[in-house]
Amino acid sequence: MVLSPVLGKLVSKRVVLASSSPRRQEILTNVGLRFEVVPSWFKETLEKSSFAAPYEYAIETAKQKALEVANRMHVKHLRTPDVVIGADTIVTVDEQILEKPVDKQDAYRMLSRLSGKEHSVFTGVVIIHCSSKDNQLETEITDFYEETKVKFSDLSEELLWEYIHSGEPMDKAGGYGIQALGGMLVEYVHGDFLNVVGFPLNHFCKKLAELYCPPLKHTIQHVKRDSIPSVDTFESLSDGESESSSFKEHKGAKKLDSTGMCPTGVICNSENSSVVRTGSMVPVENQNGVSDSTAKVPSKILDLMDGFRASKALFVASKLKIFDHLKKKSPLKAVDVANEIGTSVCGTERLLDACAALGLLEKTLQGYSNTDSANTYLSSDGEYSLHAYILHSNDHLWPLFTHLESAVKEGSRQNHRAFGKKTEDLFKEYYQNQEVKQRFMAAMHSIAHLTARDVATAFDLSEFKSACDLGGCTGALAHELIQVYPNMKATVFDLPEVIANASVFQPSEQRTAPVTFVSGDFFKDDLPEADLYILSRVLHDWPDEKIHVLLNKVSTVCRPGSALLVAETVLDEQKTHPPTVVLQSLSMTEGKQRSGSEYKQLLEKYGFTNTQIKITGNLLDAVLCFKK
């Protein structure tokens, strides 16, 4: 089983763990999964006696936890998570379910029952794939359980009470934690050790591989490849490895699409869950009419080779405002769209078909229509429109990447080749005229608006009475902060030419105190006073000497107890995930992206301690540190 491919794809998804358990968080973090934590509010009051088997109770509790989070996020955050993971661990002995003890006497009762006996630890796990259609939450649920046998030694009263007084039993199912002091009570473990800790990692990884349709033996058919790769195409995950028959399935994984297609573009058989992958062995007949297998089709490599076509199709469709036209009126035939945007019918039809192949449009006999995602993210007036950033990618980033070879050879920016001029200041070219400045600010605003809620709520910031967003541009994050924390006063500090245009992007309905905008250069000018300073998408842009100047200034004005909130995408420790950010680094020859440990070391150099990192699952993560 190779898990890296599926983790690489999940990194672009909003993955949520519906659990506050630090042990589950640590297990999933260590395997490389990027997720955000949203503890469930579901009250575990299910009637245990109504379940025929203990594992059914654990699965149903896990399901209700995950569903509560999925529904709450869909309604409250106005942005549906892609995947929600729920889990519940119970201990059973003598056919009785033991959960977390309510007090020390309850812990004593539980541990006394386990003394000298073998008991079972069940963890029910639920993986919910979420989508939104017509503002309604749609879910596809996969669940499983794992059982591990644990035997306790005969425990003396002295040992029992010594362990209970340590405080460790109080938040553990069955009243013990096997990974810590509770390990001294255990004589043997048969099965998955991590399942006893709180999460069956091995089974979970197998289930992820199964969900994303790995090739299975003896089920290979010819598959027609589309010329344009699917956005969510996965590579082969397990080299033909199928799930072990020893796994105890409560219910098989449900197919993820009513058409019989998995999200990966793989044909699924709903009767027996057999699958066919574009990356599997392709049979050919030899001279004797016997089917032989050729080498595997390198679907991952083929998708990378063709990836630029998909990007450019999106860029051109956005520049021609195809998604805007289809949002106003649909379905439309290709000839109607062509007439509206002034393009050829044949070229327009090919572009519309390409967008439909990429899952951006829906194509029926009546014509073409936007998907829900296109209405939300691709139309210029969508609630979380990325239209401006897509145009920025087409007009500015695409030309730079056409000179990537020169950038690698020379180790320098390629603006002079891409745009015919060289500039020393990273942002000066964006502010050279009003039109370019407006486009750039709109691009930055679209990302800030999309990420603001997750950054603002990554930590509880209610203790801070004032915040200053350095380089805060249009104030999208500042406005979100005062929505979440009404008692906070927020200031945006940015260059005069930015502040002069910021009013264009202000919310139409101002329900709270307005954000204050102050002009200045954070490298040269005095910074406004605040309890909390914010650097959102700033540090990755600048070389070390500039960062030294900036962080030294912030540290100097911070009082003890003040804090710094950094919003950036945090790389994993190998600095290979998330891939989109690693690729972005190719066009950065002055600044750089950093891992969590690198941010911690950097901030400690300037007197910031107690660094906390929150992987939000959005485009930006959050790092909070305090001035000592």
Question: At residue 498, does pLDDT exceed 50?
Answer: yes
Q: For residue 553, what is the DSSP state?
A: H
Mean of all residue pLDDT scores within the chain: 82
Which candidate, 300, 401, 388, places its Cα nearest to that of 2? 300
Question: At residue 412, does pLDDT exceed 80?
Answer: no
pLDDT at 471: 93
Decide: 145 and 55 in contact? Cβ < 8 Å. yes
Q: Taking residues 42-65, what's their average pLDDT?
A: 90
Token output for 230: 């699917």
Q: Give the domain ranges of the chain.
A: 4-210, 301-385, 450-627
pLDDT at 86: 95
Domain 450-627 carries which CATH code?
3.40.50.150
Q: Is the dihedral of CA 537, 541, 543, 547 positive or negative?
A: negative
Q: Is 270 exposed, middle or buried (0-12, 13-18, 19+ CB in 10 A)?
A: exposed
Out of 311-315, 541-545, 623-627, pick the least confident. 541-545
Q: Taking residues 17-44, what's their average pLDDT?
A: 88
pTM of the model: 0.57
Condensed to tens digits (0 to 9), the pLDDT of residues 357-384 reads 999 999 999 999 999 889 999 999 888 8
Name the more confident of 266 and 613.
613
Between CA 508 and CA 435 the distance in angstroms is 22
Confidence category of residue 314, pLDDT binned at 50, 70, 90? very high
pLDDT at 193: 92
Which candidate, 393, 384, 426, places its Cα nearest to that of 521? 426
Between CA 88 and CA 174 the distance in angstroms is 12
Confidence category of residue 601, pLDDT binned at 50, 70, 90? very high
Question: At residue 125, does pLDDT exceed 50?
Answer: yes
Confidence category of residue 581, pLDDT binned at 50, 70, 90? confident
What whole-number percentage of the chain has pLDDT above 70? 82
Confidence category of residue 106, pLDDT binned at 50, 70, 90? confident
Q: Is 218 exposed, middle or buried (0-12, 13-18, 19+ CB in 10 A)?
A: exposed
Between CA 623 and CA 611 the distance in angstroms is 7
Condensed to tens digits (0 to 9), the pLDDT of residues 444-480 reads 998 898 899 999 999 999 999 999 999 999 999 999 9
Token output for 456: 């603002």
Confidence category of residue 555, pLDDT binned at 50, 70, 90? very high
Token output for 480: 């979100």
pLDDT at 226: 38
Decide: 539 and 593 in contact? Cβ < 8 Å. no
Decide: 585 and 593 in contact? Cβ < 8 Å. yes
Out of 5-9, 143-147, 461-465, 485-489, pick the least confident. 5-9
Decide: 214 and 224 in contact? Cβ < 8 Å. no
Between CA 446 and CA 389 the distance in angstroms is 7
For 206-343, where are the E strands, in sequence order?
267-268, 275-276, 283-285, 291-293
Q: Taking residues 64-90, what's their average pLDDT?
A: 86
Decide: 519 and 482 in contact? Cβ < 8 Å. no
Token output for 580: 């989109």
567 phi, psi to nearest 5 deg: -115, 105
Confidence category of residue 512, pLDDT binned at 50, 70, 90? low
User: Which residues participate in catalysis according to the annotation?
Assistant: 88
* Interior/surface letters 284-317, b for 16+ CB within 10 angstroms, e for the rest: eeeeeeeeeeeeebebbeebeeeeeebbebbbbb
Which of 275-289, 426-440, 507-521, 545-559 shows the highest mean pLDDT? 545-559
Condensed to tens digits (0 to 9), the pLDDT of residues 220-229 reads 343 333 333 3
Q: Taking residues 111-133, what's their average pLDDT?
A: 91
Q: Under CATH, what is the fold of the domain 4-210?
A: Maf protein (3.90.950)
Token output for 158: 């002295």
Q: Is 441 exposed, middle or buried (0-12, 13-18, 19+ CB in 10 A)?
A: buried
Question: At residue 424, does pLDDT exceed 70?
Answer: no
Question: At residue 489, does pLDDT exceed 80?
Answer: yes
Condensed to tens digits (0 to 9), the pLDDT of residues 194-249 reads 999 989 999 998 888 888 755 554 443 433 333 333 333 333 333 333 333 333 44
For 238-278, where are the E strands, in sequence order?
267-268, 275-276
Q: Taking residues 158-184, what's their average pLDDT?
A: 86
Indicate the class that CATH gives domain 301-385.
Answer: mainly alpha
**Helix, coil or strand: residue 573:** coil
pLDDT at 292: 52
Decide: 279 and 297 in contact? Cβ < 8 Å. yes
